[in-house]
Chain A
Amino acid sequence: MLDVRNLTFSYRPEDRPWSFGFKVAAGECIAINGPSGSGKSTLLSLLAGFLEPATGQILWNGTLLNPLPPWERPMTSVFQEYNLFEHLNVETNVGLGIHPGMKLTPFQKRAVTDGLIKVGLKGLEKRMPAELSGGQRQRVALLRAILRDKPVLLLDEPLTGLDTDTRDTLRAMLLELKASGTTIVLASHDEEDRQVLADHQWSL
C-alpha cells in the first residue's frame, strides 16, 4: 500500500503550495488527473525523491519513505522523454537498471537479451538511443523499469506522442506488470490510457 498523506510543496515560498493525498493498494493503478501545470509531474518527483516536500508523509507498506534518497526508494520512474542515457547503448541502458555498475550475471544478461526480444527490439543491443525512434526508446525505458523490478512504477505521460501500435504494446506490458503485483501511479492526459490502466482516479 502506497499512502501519501498531506504532501505539500511549492517551488517558490510566495506561491500557494500544492497539496497531495491518496492511497493505492499494491498491484493497483491510480491515475492522477488534472490540467497541465496542476502539479502532476511535481507529485511524481516528490514520490521518487527528486524533490523534497515541505510537509507530509510518503509511506510504503507502513515505512516512511521521506528520509530515503531516490536510490533507496522502492520506485522506478518512466517519463515522457529523456529516460535513457544518450551516451550509452541500449544494452547498457537496460543493464544499469539491474546493477548500477553493470556487473551482470550471465542470467541477467540473458534477461536483457530476452527482454529486448519481447519488446520487439531484437538485436538492437548495441544501438545508441539517438538511433532509435521515440517508440523504441520508450520500450527500452519500460524494459529497464520492468527488469529493475521495483514494487512501485511512476509513469509521467509515458505513452504520449507514440503511434498506436507502440501504445498497444506498451499498454499490454504495463497491464502484465500490474497483474504481477506492481503498483502504478500514472499521470496522463490521455483518457484511453486511464480507462485501460487505472483502477482508481484521483483529481488534483
Chain B
Amino acid sequence: MNNLPHTHHSQPGWQRWPGILLALAITVLAVSGVGALLWQAPAIEVSELWASAYLRNVLVFTVWQAVLSVTFSLLLALPVARALDRYRVFIGRTLLLRLMELSLVIPTIVAVSGVVAIYGRQGWLTTTLGEWVPFLKWNLYGINGIVLTHVFFNAPLAARILLQAFENAPVAQRRIASQLALGRLWLWRAVEWPAIRPVLPGIVALIFTLCFTSFAIVMTLGGGPRATTLEVAIYQALRFEFDFGRAALLAVVQLLICGALWWLALRKGISPTLAPDRALTQNDRRKNSSRVSLLTNTSLLVAFTIFLLLPLIAVFFRGFPGLADAFLQPSNGVSGSGLCSATIRSFIIAVPAGFLAVVTSLLILFASNPRISSTVSRLCETSAYVPLVVPPLVLGTGLFLLLRPRLGVPSEGLVLVSLINSLMALPFVLQLLRGAFKNTAPATLQQADQLGILGWHRWRWIYWPRMRRPLALGMAYGIGLSLGDFGVIALFGSPGSPTLPVLLYQQLGSYQMQAAAATGLWLILLLLFVFGIFSLLGRRSPTVEKQTLHSRRILEPTHA
C-alpha cells in the first residue's frame, strides 16, 4: 500500500476524465493550429524576422508598447490600491470597485470609441487643453492612444488584484504596524511589499500578455507598419496576404515570448490570482493616516475615477440620442441599422460561449486534483491558459481543420466563433471559479469524506453553496467577453451578418458617428443587463432555499 491519504477514493475517475480530455483537446487545438499553418506554408524564412524591416518594426513595437503599458498600469494601480486599502470606508468605494471590475468586460471597441471622444483630435479633453496650452501637441493615434487605452483597461485590473493582496495581509500585522506607528517606508517593507510580492509576477505576466496580444485596440488606434502588433500582423498576413508561413512564424514568436514570460513568472509555482475576488473585507477605518496623505490619496482616487468614467460618460452622452432615435423610429432605426439582428446574432454566439466556458472550467477544475497527480493537475490548468498566448486566429485555424469534415451547416461560422470565444473566456472564467473551488479547506473535505458526502451530494452541499456566486459571475463574464468580442468575429464572421461590435466597427469606418455611439451604448447596456441578471441569480438562491426549507418545516406537522 502506498503512503498517500485515503481521500483518493472520494473522487472517482469518471469525474476527472472529461476535464482531462478537454484539456488535451485544447492543447491539441493549439498545436494543430500552429502545425497547420506551418504545413501550409511553402517555406518559412526564419531570417525574415530580422532581415525584414517591417517584421523587425512590428516585433519591436509590440514589445515596446507592452512594456510601456505594463509600467504605466502598475505605476497607476499601485498607489490606487494602497489608497483603497488605507481607506476602507468612504462613500462610493463599492461603486468605484464595481467600476474597476467593469474594465474587464467593456468591449474594447466601445472603450476605444469613448477614448477617442475624450482624447481624440476633436475630443473634449484635447480641445479644452488645446485652448489652455496651445503648444501641446497630442496625437491619439499611434503609440499614445494604444498605451493610454491599455492603461485604461489594465490599471483597474491590476489595482483590483493588488488591493486584494493588500487586504489579505494578516490583520494582526496591520495592527502591530499601526501600534508601532511605522513610517511609510517601513509599513511598505514590513507589511505591504510582502503582501503583494507573490502576486506581482502574475500581474506583470498577465498584463504584458494582454497588451502584447492586443488586437482591437491596435486595429483601431494603430495601424501602419509603425504601430502594429504581432497579433494584427498575423491577421493581416492571413486575411489579406494569404501568407501562411509568415503567420505561422509570427504566431510561434508570440507563443515563445509570452510562454517564456509565463514560465518565468510561474516557475516558482506561484499561482497568480488573476481575477479579483469579490469577497472584500469590510474593515473599520484605519487610524494611521496623516492629513497630508488623506489629501493626496483623495485626489488620486478622484482623478482615477474621472479617468475611468470619462470615456464611459462620453459613450453614454453621445449614444443616447442615437439610441433613442433607433427605438422611437423603428422604420429607419433598429431594423434599418441592423441593430436588432446584430443583437440577436451576438447573443446566439455569446450565450453558448459563456455556458461552454463555465462548463469547461468546472470540468478542468474537477480533473486537476493535485492530490492525485500534480503533473496532470498542472497540465490541465496550464491548458486553460493557452488561449491567453495563442492567437484566436491560430486556435480557429486548428478548430477549422479539425471540424471541417463534419460541419457542413451554413451556421458553421457562428459555431466556430462561439467555440473560440468560449476558449478565449476560459482563462478568466477558470480564475473566477478556481478560488472558490480550491479554497475548500482540507478539514471540510475530510469531514465530507467521513460523513460520506460524495458524488452528487458533494457537489450539492459542499461546492454548490460556495460556488453559486462565482458560477453566476463566470457565466456573466463568459457571455460579456464574447458579446464584446471583436477579434474572433473579425476573422471568421462575414461582414454581411455583423455582431454588435462588428456593426460598431463598420459604423465607425463609414463615419456614421451617431449610429456608432448608439451601438456602443446599446452594447454597454446589454452587458449591464447580463451582469445584473446573473448577479441576481447568484444572490437570490440562498433566500429561496431558506424559504423552501422553512415552508417544509411548517408543513411538517401534517406529515407527522
Contact = CB atoms under 8 A, between A and B. Distances in A.
Interface of A: 48-52, 54, 66, 69-73, 75-77, 79, 82-83, 85-88, 91-92, 96-97, 100-102, 106-107, 109-110, 126, 148
A51 B6 contact: yes
Contact of B546 (A79, A126, A148): A126
A100 B465 contact: no
B6 A88 contact: no
Nearest to B546: A126
B450 A77 contact: yes
B452 A100 contact: yes
Q: Does more than half of chain A's interface fall in helix, strand or loop, or is it mixed? A: loop
B453 A69 contact: no
Interface of B: 1-7, 9-10, 441, 443-444, 446-454, 456-457, 460-462, 465-466, 546, 549, 553, 556, 559-560
Nearest to B441: A82
B449 A50 contact: yes
Contacts of A52: 1-6
Contacts of B5: 50-52
A71 B446 CA distance: 10
A102 to B, nearest CB: 7
Would you list the 4 A-B pairs with minimal beta carbon distance, nearest first? A71-B452, A82-B443, A101-B457, A69-B9
Nearest to B465: A87
Given A77-B450, A102-B461, 6 more contacts: A52-B4, A70-B6, A70-B446, A70-B449, A71-B10, A87-B465
Contacts of A83: 447
Nearest to A148: B451
B278 to A, nearest CB: 15
A77 B449 CA distance: 11
Contacts of B460: 101
A88 B465 contact: yes
A101 B452 CA distance: 9
A76 B449 CA distance: 11
A76 B450 contact: yes
B457 A49 contact: no
B441 A96 contact: no
Contacts of A54: 1, 3
B168 to A, nearest CB: 18
A100 B9 contact: no
Given A50-B446, A101-B461, A110-B560, A71 B466 contact: no
A163 to B, nearest CB: 23
B451 A50 contact: no
A109 B552 CA distance: 10
A144 B450 CA distance: 12
A85 B559 CA distance: 29
Contact of A49 (B6, B462, B466, B549): B6
Contacts of B10: 69-71
B453 A100 contact: yes
Contacts of B556: 106, 109-110
Contacts of B3: 52, 54
B155 to A, nearest CB: 33
Contacts of A82: 441, 443-444, 447
A100 B454 contact: yes
Contacts of B451: 71, 96-97, 100, 148
A182 to B, nearest CB: 16
Contact of B443 (A73, A75, A76, A79): A79
Given A70-B446, A82-B441, A100 B2 contact: no
Contacts of B452: 71-72, 100
11 contacts: A54-B1, A54-B3, A71-B449, A72-B452, A82-B444, A92-B461, A100-B453, A100-B457, A101-B453, A101-B456, A148-B451
Contacts of A86: 444
Contact of A106 (B443, B446, B456, B559): B559
Given A79-B443, A83-B447, A92-B461, A71 B559 contact: no
Contacts of B546: 126
A109 B549 CA distance: 11
Contacts of B453: 96, 100-101
A92 B5 CA distance: 27
Contacts of B450: 48-50, 70-71, 73, 75-77
A70 B444 CA distance: 13
Nearest to B556: A106
Contact of B462 (A85, A97, A106, A110): A85
A69 B456 contact: no
Given A100-B452, A126-B546, A69 B444 contact: no
B466 to A, nearest CB: 5
Contacts of B441: 82
A85 B457 CA distance: 14
A159 B556 CA distance: 35
The residue in A50, A51, A88, A92 that gathers the most chain B C-beta atoms within 10 A of its C-beta is A50
B6 A69 contact: yes
Contacts of B457: 100-102
A85 B461 contact: yes
B277 to A, nearest CB: 15
Contacts of B447: 77, 82-83, 85
A182 B551 CA distance: 36
